[in-house]
Structure 1
Amino acid sequence: MKYMFTYDLMESARNTNEWLGATARAMASYPAFALSMNPMLPMMAAWGEVTERTFSRMIAKPDWGIRSIVGPDGQDHLVDVTKVVEKPFGDLVQFYVRRRAPMARKVLLVAPMSGHYATLLRSTVASLLPDADVYVTDWHNARDIPVSSGKFDVEDYTLYLAEFMKALGPDIHVIAVCQPVPLALAATAYLAAEDPDAQPRSLVLIGGPVDPDAAATEVTDFGRRVTMGQLEHLAIQRVGFKHKGAGRLVYPGLLQLQSFITMNAERHGKAFSEQVFRVSRGEASDHDAHNRFYDEYLAVMDMTAEFYLSTVERIFKNREIATNSFVVAGRQVDMGAINKVSVMTVEGANDDISAPGQCVAALNLLTGLSDDKKAQHLEPGAGHYGIFAGKSWRLNIRPLVLNFIDKASGTGRKAKISLAAGQ
């Protein structure tokens, strides 16, 4: 299915549904129709409003929405999102807090490239900002990257991370969430061999598939069932002429979203029908719980075909990270080369995406690291999202991570939970 027409067909269907929603909302909202007192008119307008918003969000990159934080002096400090390093497939951005001296903690938050934008970590960034200078990997939508920019696979991703770490200096503390966990580990090992002085002080790995075979999930089962040829045929398409990346082979965001929705179709269907009734009764708002969640959940981005396929083949099928046989730029990356970076793994007991055992496997690969520089935490009752952005992160994991960072820096102070970050 490597065709532009299949890509454009999906976009046409999305565009049509957005138009139908807008039309229904506009038509049912004519003042003259109110004279009929027909109860179906408010329902039609509500359905149109929810439908239009739903399908329009699928192609819009969400805003970070972090305008300011409260400082220790009680004053508001404005926050600017500035680019530190610009690359074709992703930027290194800083959340610069105005009128605040550089913080002792400097954190690089490595965002996943797995269908959603880096803004999925918005609450994680907001929780860390009061206590650290925060930098984030802001990956670009592949449909907007010209073919002339070349390829981008797991090796390129790893080299990007290594470059970002070098740009920030050796005092950086890296926190990788979900998909980039094995590649953040590989990037650190790559630096350990190529430029030892550029290694970060600490590396926190949260819920990632270092060894997918350590615990089976639906994700790992899918990787075993489907051959690479089948996957390439079913998932890969060419970007249509509407976008700058026309002709680029991608795993489309809309196709990914279809998979996300299908996994919990009943729950999502119920959520949308309930929202229609809330809108019809005038009980909904622009930033209510439903819209806050789905504005982010529905905003999807295309991945380059080579990145998606190489992730499945090399990380899941061949287990190159787990077997310490990962190669970057023609050189094998030895995880045992890491000998001075403090490494911590965090897993959720109820994580059904990266099950317990997959992430902690990283510690067994670190043969050159002393035990006092290794740590692990299993959060009881926590699912995948909870360990980096939910209640478990806010109340338990965040202070543990900050304390680990301080220990790696040699400060030994205890992390405090500010009201802005801990509630």
Structure 2
Amino acid sequence: MKNLATYDLMESVRNTNQWLGATALALGSYPISGLMPNPFMQMMAAWGEVTERSFARMVAKPDWNIHTVVGDDGRDHMVSVDVCVNRPFGDLVHFRVHGRPTMERKILLVAPMSGHYATLLRTTVASLLPDCEVYVTDWHNARDIPVSEGKFDIEDYTLYLVDFMKYLGPDTNAIAVCQPAPITLAATAYLAQEEPEAQPRTLTLIGGPINPDAAATDVTDFGNRLTMGQLEQLAIQRVGFKYRGVGRLVYPGLLQLSSFMSMNAESHSNAFYQQILRVAKGEAADHDKHNRFYDEYLAVMDMTAEFYLSTVERVFKGLEIAQNKFTVNGKHVDIGKITDVAVKTVEGSEDDISAPGQCVAALDLCTGLPDEKKANHLEPGAGHYGIFAGKSWRNNIRPLVLEFIDANARTQRKVTRLKSV
């Protein structure tokens, strides 16, 4: 079977490195090693600890680790993650805060399906929970989905979002982060044509490639350098025998991770070297800054081949969203049909993944939307991660997004009251 052996080879290499790390840690931790004046044994144990942890995280889904939130009453309220809509390729989950009245702001946070789990947005969720009811798209790892469940491409992704929006109702405020921004825009336009009453109240697009050609980055250039045939040969493999999705064609998480790491190889190498030194000196901790970041960063998931290839072909190469030519089930999805949903775009001036200009292009596509329902924010000095989970998000962008939501909620309530009169 095409590339099944390659998939299993990558997993074997990962497993071997995890074993080597565990072995080095065990050997370097024997008490007798303390008799050696040379720090070699401590360094070997430190290398083993960091290596074992790193390679083990690559196949583990991180936990949300959001257990409590402080309410207006000053008390800690327990948080549970409840599945509202269960689907083969992804669920809609609700972060239910027990013992607290339902918050007026309802947020649908659309997580990327671009190599990492939805838990990449953990800090984003935690920052919104005190003031909002938060729902998140929790996409599944393609390696664990049996072939019998069928395909999942960009159109299926769009229809998943449509179903999630219908479930939540028209008082929803959708926030799409990075990769799903153009698809969330298309899902909103789909509802504008098919079921206008089910559209979200507001739509915030953060660092998404609405028009990848508006500002070139290494990501968009990579897509343009390769033909679809070359990309399929280089990136697509079949899930190996270890997982439930055996035989499914995927873009493997481990292959994606190697691409992520190579983009900033020097900084990653230095980060791991410094962590090994800290472990050897006894200065590291289980949940220190390094481990918190890399436990999430190294946890990667496979994408279905059809979703990855159709996204590259239609969003990046064909520019179907940017040129308002996107179709679902053969029917044109006209973004100009969005007339009632307030749309805000957020970009970072130092974003090297989705550069400034790519996301704000959404506002020009919303030709049926009045200018007072459009907004844009360019965050100075912010990179890609910072605009949705870093200091820029916490200090500047989050308050602006909530103000945007509240301003349009007030407008909606005023219109509703006028209609009732």
2:203 and 2:110 map into 1 onto residues whose CA distance is 11
SS at match of 1:405: helix
> Superposed, which structure 2 residues align to 1:129-144 within 5 Å?
129-144=129-144
Q: Percent identity?
A: 73
Structure 2 residue 250 is matched with structure 1 residue 265: no
1:236 matched to which residue of 2? Answer: 236
1:189 matched to which residue of 2? Answer: 189
2:177 and 2:2 map into 1 onto residues whose CA distance is 31
1:78 matched to which residue of 2? Answer: 78
SS at match of 1:245: coil
> Does the CA contact (< 8 Å) of 1:403 and 1:412 recur in 2?
no
Deviations 1:344-392 (A, max 9, x none): 0011111111111110100111111111111111111111111111111
2:2 and 2:259 map into 1 onto residues whose CA distance is 18
1:7 matched to which residue of 2? Answer: 7
2:203 and 2:2 map into 1 onto residues whose CA distance is 38
1:312 matched to which residue of 2? Answer: 312
Deviations 1:282-311 (A, max 9, x none): 000000010000000000000000000001
Q: Give the drift of 1:93.
A: 0.2
Q: Give the drift of 1:73.
A: 1.0
Q: Give the drift of 1:329.
A: 1.5
Deviations 1:175-218 (A, max 9, x none): 00000000000000001111110000000000000011111111
Q: Give the drift of 1:36.
A: 3.2
1:186 and 1:2 map into 2 onto residues whose CA distance is 33
TM-score by length of 2: 0.97
Give the aligned length: 413
1:45 matched to which residue of 2? Answer: 45
> Superposed, which structure 2 residues align to 1:21-420 within 5 Å?
21-410=21-410
5+ residue gaps, structure 1: 414-423
TM-score by length of 1: 0.96
1:294 and 1:315 map into 2 onto residues whose CA distance is 29
SS at match of 2:163: helix
SS at match of 1:7: helix
Could you tell which deviates more after superposition, 12-21 or 215-224?
215-224
5+ residue gaps, structure 2: 414-421
Q: Give the drift of 1:27.
A: 1.2
> Runs of 4 or more off by more than 6 Å in structure 1?
none
SS at match of 1:108: strand
- Matched residue type, 1:213: D
- Matched residue type, 1:223: G
Q: Give the drift of 1:411.
A: 6.7
- Matched residue type, 1:313: E
Q: Give the drift of 1:325.
A: 0.6
SS at match of 1:230: helix
2:417 matched to which residue of 1? Answer: none
Deviations 1:118-160 (A, max 9, x none): 0000000000000000000000000000000000011000000
- Matched residue type, 1:103: M
1:418 matched to which residue of 2? Answer: none
CA RMSD of aligned residues (A): 1.2
